[in-house]
A and B are shown apart, each in its own frame.
Chain A
Amino acid sequence: MTTVKTTRTDRAAAPIAGRGVRVTRGVLIVVGIALIGLGGYVLTETVSPTRYSGLLVWLIGSVIVHDAIIAPVVVAVGLAVRRTGRRVPAAVIALVQSAVVVGVVLSMIVVPEIVAKAKGPKNDTVLPFDYASRLGAMWVVIAVVTALAVAIYLVRTRRQKVRESTDQV
């Protein structure tokens, strides 16, 4: 890695094409293509060609599920929240949004377990818990913690405002 001795504004404007960057790029691209080739070779050596179409469907499906379903929903919800929540303090929105994100992401990890358990695990020591009620409890905990955090934030900012106004008197 080369150190570019320029000021901040210069660096932002100048095209970065130092020798170090060029060499690193070249090496990474060669290594990358070689590894993709290796992966393809391993796949053809170990997986029956009759399974390729199923694999391809799942690969394309993964992109579609993210890019066409999950991400647009997140964008739309984000826009709606920002539009309707313009009068709400930014920190409150951030807290509630973060709580929902955490809950949804953890749910994405736990819901497949609930499905697999419903389908019947291979033996009793696989998926031993009642994951649905645990997930429900998790959402309750998240809701309570978020409500507390929001309440603490609001009380604090109100006190600060009161203090500021009394200071002025």
Chain B
Amino acid sequence: MRSLLFTLRLAATSPTRNARTATVLGRLLGIAFLVCLLTGLYSHFLQEPAEWMRFPTRPVWLYQVSQGVHITAGIACIPLLLGKLHAVFPQLFQYPPVRHPVQVLERASIALFIATSVLQLVTGLLNTFQYYPWPFPFRQVHFALSFVIIGSLAIHIAVKLPLITRYWRARDSYDADGAFVEPAGSLDPARAEFTATRELTRRREAEEARVVSSTGTAPPRPRGLVGRIVHWIDTAHEGDRDPHRARVSRRGFFGAVGVATGGAVVLTAGQSFTAFEPFNAFAPRQRGIGPNDLPINRTAAAARVLESAMAPDWALTVSNGDRSRSFSADDLTAMTQDEGDLPISCVEGWSQTGRWRGVRLVDLMATVGAPADRRLRFTSLEERGGYRVMLMGSEYATDPATLIALELNGERLSIDHGYPARVIAPGRPGVLQTKWLTTIEVL
């Protein structure tokens, strides 16, 4: 067991795998994870606010940017996490596997961290194109795991703090030739044990070679499968001892992680950010594609509103306690129309600004004398679905930019975009921009 773990660890050693490369990538990954957590929490509370919560409605692109950053940072985490796991892979083969009872917790927290963060990135990526091949609900698990990830990350940082501070700066990490300065045994007992064993093996071999050269017999070839494999691995590592090769190999590694991260960001961020639109090669969404030149998440067919939304007797009922009024599509069109540029920003990361035209929500609510400080409840024609009923805080309800939209990008609203009428408010996730409206109530 002991020799097997040493062999595996030896096999996994490379100039790109050391505490310094782990520290460098760990810092970047830590920042990216924190960005994802904060933007994710913002998105979560926008959708499920506590009673006392109020949100800014300006700038109107706030959620567009925060969720675009969430998805883009998450995609950037994929190459970074792979690089980080690459850098620390030899640590998997520690001997003894557990040195101390506390180390059980440490290794368990790392296992938890790897499992949850890999799963989080996989499910998050697939969610951006609505692909759910797993047997659990995405949103709830994604939310719960985010705390587990950050928690196990905090424990991991606590455990590795001495190593992180030791290798924080490049000049403390490499000697004049560019060779990695191994940590002292007190910092990394596993590494110390590993180097000690390698040193012993090296001396024994040198001694054998001396005996062989003095007696004149040929050195024995390694025997058995394991012996041959170990020999093969050992000779493969010969080049690593040359500091120049090690340095070039390290540069190549960081270059690869950097280009992969940059490439993943540049080639997908066009779904969220205008600056990257010309490079949108791989994002699951392309701006401008869809009815009214804008993509859709949930179609009228999926929401089963094809008949009810096209019904000639459709009316939007607005009520404030006992006062209630119904507006047909013609009634709404006859009211004062307002126009504004507001983004549709999806929780899945894509967003696009549209030119909306319709009735100001404040004007509509004034017809039933709605007070300014109350929440509103919007109901869609959808018969089922998590977003059939939507609550709107007073900050959005009283914002003059919030519209009951009838037109999008110069045309009557397409049925897939919520015909006959939908709501569009500044700074809210797309799922809360309720389509196929049927009632609005003051709460």
Could you say which of B50-58, B130-138, B382-390, B399-407 contacts chain A?
Answer: B130-138
A residues in contact with B236, CB < 8 Å: 79-80, 82-83
Contacts A51-B136, A90-B244: A74 and B86 contacting too (C-beta < 8 A)? yes
Contact residues of B: prevailing secondary structure: helix
Contacts A8-B172, A25-B158, A79-B236: A106 and B151 contacting too (C-beta < 8 A)? no
Q: Is B187 an interface residue (CB 8 A)?
A: yes
Q: Is A151 an interface residue (CB 8 A)?
A: no
Interface contact B118-A62, CB-CB below 8 Å: yes
* Highest count of chain A CB atoms <10 Å: which of B12, B129, B416: B129
Interface contact A109-B152, CB-CB below 8 Å: no
CB distance from A47 to the nearest CB of B (A): 5
Q: Is B259 an interface residue (CB 8 A)?
A: yes
A69-122: which have CB < 8 Å to B?
Answer: 70-71, 74-75, 78-80, 82-83, 86, 90-91, 93-95, 97-99, 101-102, 105-106, 108-110, 112-113, 115-116, 119, 121-122
Contacts A59-B119, A63-B114, A86-B239: A109 and B155 contacting too (C-beta < 8 A)? no
Q: In the complex, which of the residues A43, A57, A63, A94 contacts B248, with contact meaning CB atoms closer than 8 Å?
A: A94
Q: In the complex, which of the residues B158, B235, B264 contacts A109, with contact meaning CB atoms closer than 8 Å?
A: B264
CB distance from A105 to the nearest CB of B (A): 4
Q: Is A34 an interface residue (CB 8 A)?
A: yes
CB distance from A118 to the nearest CB of B (A): 11
Interface contact B126-A32, CB-CB below 8 Å: no
A6-64: which have CB < 8 Å to B?
Answer: 8, 11-17, 21, 24-26, 28-29, 31-40, 42-43, 46-47, 51, 54-55, 57-60, 62-63
Contacts A79-B11, A125-B296: A105 and B155 contacting too (C-beta < 8 A)? no
Interface contact B233-A29, CB-CB below 8 Å: no
B residues in contact with A21, CB < 8 Å: 161-162, 165
Interface contact B282-A42, CB-CB below 8 Å: no
Closest chain A residue, CB of each to CB of B291:
A125
* Chain A: number of interface residues, binned into ranges: 35 or more
Q: What does the 1/0 interface line of B1-39 toward A look like (CB < 8 Å)?
A: 000000000011010000000000000000000000000
Q: Is B369 an interface residue (CB 8 A)?
A: no
Q: Is B96 an interface residue (CB 8 A)?
A: no
B residues in contact with A112, CB < 8 Å: 125-126, 129, 131
* Chain B: number of interface residues, binned into ranges: 35 or more
Q: What does the 1/0 interface line of B281-296 toward A look like (CB < 8 Å)?
A: 1101110011000011
Can you offer 9 A-B residue contacts whose CB atoms are under 8 A?
A: A12-B181, A14-B184, A21-B162, A62-B115, A102-B263, A105-B78, A113-B282, A126-B129, A129-B281
Interface residues of A (CB under 8 A from B): 1, 8, 11-17, 21, 24-26, 28-29, 31-40, 42-43, 46-47, 51, 54-55, 57-60, 62-63, 65-67, 70-71, 74-75, 78-80, 82-83, 86, 90-91, 93-95, 97-99, 101-102, 105-106, 108-110, 112-113, 115-116, 119, 121-129, 131, 134-135, 138
Interface residues of B (CB under 8 A from A): 11-12, 14, 75, 78-79, 82, 85-86, 89, 92, 109, 111-112, 114-116, 118-119, 122, 125-126, 129-131, 134-137, 140-141, 143-159, 161-162, 165-166, 172, 181, 183-184, 186-187, 232-233, 235-240, 244-245, 248-249, 251-253, 255-257, 259-260, 263-264, 267-268, 281-282, 284-286, 289-290, 295-299, 302, 416
